[in-house]
Amino acid sequence: MNNRDDDRVSTIKTLSKSEKVKLLALAKAKGLKRKNAGDAQPIQPAARSPQGEPLAFAQRRLWFLAQMEENASGVYTLGGAFTLTGRLDARAMRVALDRLVDRHEILRTRFVTVEGTPLQQIDAEDIGFTLEEIDGSDIEAAEHAFPPHFDLEKGPLIVGQLVRMENEVHLLRIAMHHIIADGWSIGLFMRELGVLYQAFSTGLPDPLPPLDIQYADYAIWQHRHLHGEVLQAQQRYWVEQLQGIPACLTLPTDRPRPQTQDYAGGSIPVMFDSVLLADLNALSRRHGCTLFMTLLAGWSLLMSRLSGQDEVVIGTPIAGRGRREVESLIGMFVNTQALRVDLSASPDTGALLEQVKAAALAAQSHADIPFEQVVEAVAPVRSMSHSPIFQVMLALQNTPDNKLSLPGLTLSELAGEAVNAPFDLSLSLGVSNGVMQGVLIYATALFDENTVQRYLGYWQALLRSMAESPHLPVQALPMLSFEERQKVVFDFNDTLMDYPAESCIHELFEQQVKACPDEVALVYDEQTLRYGELNARANQLAHWLIELGVRPDDRVAIALTRGVEMVVAILATLKAGGAYVPLDPVTPPARLAYTLEDSKPLVLITMQDIHTQLDDLPQALKIIALDSDYRPWSACAVSNIPSVSRGLTSRHLAYVIYTSGSTGKPKGVMVPHQGVVNFLLSQQRQLGVKAAARLLAVTTVSFDIHVLEIYLPLICCGQLHMASDALRQDGERLGRYLCEQGITLFQATPATWKLLLESGWHGELGLTALIGGESFPLGLAQALLEKVGNLWNMYGPTETTVWSTCSPILASDRQIVIGRPLANTQIYMLDSRGEPAPIGVAGEICIGGAGVTRGYLGREDLTAERFVDDPFSGEPGARLYRTGDLGRWRADGTIDYLGRNDFQVKIRGFRIELGEIESALQDYGAVREAVVTASGSEAQEKRLVAYCVPREEGCIAIEALKEHLSERLPAYMVPAAYVMLARIPLTPNGKVDRNALPEPDEAAFARQRYEAPLAGDETALAAIWQALLGVEKVGRQDDFFALGGHSLLAVQLISRIRSELNCELPLAELFARPALKDMA
């Protein structure tokens, strides 16, 4: 049967007698004795109302979902299909099906609404079963029409097809809406159908005993006896249990969560080997738990490990058939419970099982209250994109055998074609003959089959670990298979490339000087230097630096404006064996002074005008002013300086570059030659840089990506074009220069690429474009792809030598990745314990290999914190750099960048990536640029602030912008405040300077002032709201749910709107647009 598999009976029933005694003693000790107001009241036939009977609690949620969601009807369909081989008595089959409809009132029940209240209406006994008999020649049309879309008001809600395939081969299909049946009912239906068919096919009367009561009698009894203090107490319990839960379980998905669930699902079979099942049973017995409790503990642990959330909520169905009177009834009895599991203390297996056991027992003693009432009491943030309270379910089945048996016929059950997924993941298991198996249903809008298959593997690995290592903290239990660990640690990092590891950067340049001395090496404005000329000038200055005492690893500060002299000074420092410290003269004086003090350079190379601006220079600092009249280096030799003569190796420093520090003080990153050489040769090979390459350098020298711009063309006999400050800040001039000079390689941050595009640049199809330094929006990528030959996304921190990964961007890409590690580079996604994260699961990006730098100058404490031993490398002394960035492996070995740890915030329990909101803002036509931050301390509720730069002069219409965002983002991701800026502040490196964003004043967060409803529909609608909600005044900006509305009141509102305003408002629209002005 294509059974929903969602009606697990009481978990205690699977226990032995002694185990039951222990659990009942525990329940008694915890005061969990169940107080059910209906326990002493028998269920008896009840008088019926002409209008109809009330819905049972379990039906109300399904009815509500059917009103709210167009796609929900197919989701809540039960049924199955069988091939019947042999001589079928079609008349007996029809009569048996008719008799079942006659026998069970619920099978001939429809659901109508009277003044906003849903009621059951039962049709006459002789209505019969709706069975469509079809000839096999029209099988395709039959399959397309089945199962039908059920209309709860018109009915019927159970139908069948009997398809004659051949003389003695038939296909029987049965489908019914979940509102009239559950999984237990399916077993009853099939058993009774078999009994009736056998009797009628042999001329015997109906052998089934008459039913004492009907489902409607149960519903009436439930409303009469399950109310008052008992349900109120249970409601208080669940509110206490579920208050403050995460709004959504943020599992790693293959695709972003859509705005509205489509309920399309896929399924994969689940099978446990007998050894694991035996181990789990033994583990359960040792801790006095049921098998379900152990499975729930492991499933909760998996969800926590996948999501990174310490608290998870798992839904589980309960059969709701604890009373003897209902055992033979077909109907919807299933209720749902949400079990909260807290793993924040990293318990061991025993402690986790104790917690789950206590939660399950307490849930059983508070099992009468309908789940929908729990949802309304807890009042979570509602979203059309996922189910409330929980998004993952676990069920352990103990339902009657669903198999259909018909005398004289051989039956084979057919797998259901369409799979529906009301939740992200629904795992249903059953144990039979010592074997546990089941099915995992997943939402195909979120997951690929391979991903979910991996998750199952992780779960079984965790369960094995729980059984084998019960005393370990559960968060430390391994869940990766040997094969997957091999893949994420080694296979994805198979980046070995031969390179001259003993060479220094300037030696690669000198090889090109020897090969092409007369080729143009450097262009700046009207100045041009050939390779031989550039080398000679650098050598002269290098000899002078040696005269001044520069030795390997000595720092040489370079404070020069962009131009030929800057490149000469950099090369000269390298040749002398020094490590240059690049300083941008436009940097604030205080930062320049700090950098000079912290780096303690031996020499400062600068210009006279810049020198005069630098205050309080150390007396011992030796100054070289390149434009002074005293130029002793001009008399120095022009010959190369052999590195061996200086004792210089590739392990000595090439440069020390300063990056922003979390303490507010910049920190100097010490970068050796070897890592730079590996980086340059890796990029040369990957980007296909040839001798004819022309690269335009626009990046400030204080940003480490200048390393690629300056050196890459100079190690392959290409041309380095150095852009002046005026050129690199003018989009139109920049575009012309790219075209007129035949530039083939151009690297820039997103801000510079946006500047270029906004200037009207037409593009260059011969250009290889690199973008890095910040997150790369998909819209920007799509705009660039139309204008360049090749586009690459680059990623890497300064601490691992410029870029560490790269990825080509294609027009077919729907998501930007940061690609794969560069040559001789290893990338690991590590969890909080330093263990490799599974494929698809977020972890901290940690980088190893040739690019890892020496650390921070003079900051041994910080170096030890961020640069750690590499446990995956066999190289002595190998280290990893912990980036603080979040990423995850994709199945193909590429990497998704998920932002920085500190760029992810939690708002009302939701984990939010700010970049996603920024992307949605920038999709709005009137917004040119946008940045989002979270305002508020840890002690306060954080609120989102959007900083926007209008595309045109003037203000952005905030209400229209919020409407745009509301159509693309969940409500909790729509910023609470909007600040208009003339421009987004940038650091000298071209990155967004978040610290320079102005603090929003409290007025920006002020609650919307009361705004009276407009005349007409708004005023009429406000009057209905006031009556339903019991409030005195309703404004046009008010939110129905914020004023106290809930699902049942929403249904009544729809009814009142229909009767009083003579119009239809879909329930889903009410939830999507709950403000009065939008509803009107």
CA quadruple 1063, 1068, 1069, 1074: dihedral positive or negative? positive
Strand 77-85 with 169-177, pairing: antiparallel
Q: What is the mean pLDDT of the chain?
A: 88
Architecture in CATH of 908-1005: 2-Layer Sandwich (3.30)
Instruction: Round to whole Å and give the CA distance between 858 and 864.
Output: 12
Instruction: Round to whole Å and give the CA distance between 406 and 412.
Output: 11
**Which fold, 243-319+331-399+417-479?**
Chloramphenicol Acetyltransferase (3.30.559)
Mean pLDDT for 625-654 is 94
pLDDT digit string (tens) for 1008-1022?
A: 456 788 888 888 899
Which has more confidence, 535 or 345? Answer: 535
Percent with pLDDT over 90 in the chain: 59
What pLDDT is attached to residue 560?
96
Which residue matches tokens 């992810």? 904
Model confidence at 1006: pLDDT above 80: no
Class of domain 1017-1079: mainly alpha
pLDDT band at 37 (very low <50, low <70, confident <90, very high): very low
What pLDDT is attached to residue 1004?
62
pLDDT digit string (tens) for 1029-1042?
A: 887 788 887 778 76
> Which range, of 16-25, 62-71, 404-413, 500-509, averages the lowest pLDDT?
16-25
Instruction: Round to whole Å and give the CA distance between 6 and 351.
Output: 28
Mean pLDDT for 518-537 is 97
394, 427 contact by CB (below 8 A): yes
Architecture in CATH of 505-660+671-774+783-823: 3-Layer(aba) Sandwich (3.40)
Global pTM value: 0.81
Which has more confidence, 74 or 132? Answer: 132
> Which range, of 302-316, 397-411, 970-984, averages the lowest pLDDT?
397-411
Mean pLDDT for 350-357 is 96
Question: Closest Cα to residue 827, out of 819, 331, 301?
Answer: 819
pLDDT band at 397 (very low <50, low <70, confident <90, very high): confident
Domain range 53-207, its CATH number among 3.30.559.10, 3.40.50.620, 3.90.380.10, 3.10.129.10: 3.30.559.10
Supply φ then ψ for residue 236, to 5 degrees. Answer: -60, -40
Mean pLDDT for 441-462 is 96
Model confidence at 909: pLDDT above 70: no
Sequence-ordered list of residues with C-beta below 8 angstroms from that of 1036, at least 6 positions apart, any chain = 1011, 1012, 1013, 1014, 1018, 1022, 1075, 1076, 1077, 1080
Model confidence at 474: pLDDT above 70: yes
Mean pLDDT for 517-522 is 97
What pLDDT is attached to residue 104?
97
Locate CATH 3.40.50.12780 in the chain. Answer: 505-660+671-774+783-823
Q: Which amino acid, one-letter code, is at 707?
A: V
Q: If residue 669 lies in a helix (H) or strand (E), which one and from where to where?
A: strand 667-672
Instruction: Round to whole Å and give the CA distance between 885 and 797.
Output: 10
Beta strands in 800-894 (DSSP E): 805-808, 820-821, 825-830, 843-849, 855-856, 867-869, 879-889
What pLDDT is attached to residue 498?
96
> Which range, of 31-35, 599-603, 674-678, 944-948, averages the lowest pLDDT?
31-35
Mean pLDDT for 511-518 is 97
Model confidence at 831: pLDDT above 50: yes
Locate CATH 3.30.559.10 in the chain. Answer: 53-207
What pLDDT is attached to residue 910?
56
Which has more confidence, 732 or 912? Answer: 732
Locate CATH 1.10.1200.10 in the chain. Answer: 1017-1079
Q: Supply 251's token pair.
A: 């599992």
Which residue matches tokens 């969601």? 69
Locate CATH 3.30.300.30 in the chain. Answer: 908-1005
Model confidence at 849: pLDDT above 60: yes
What pLDDT is attached to residue 224?
86
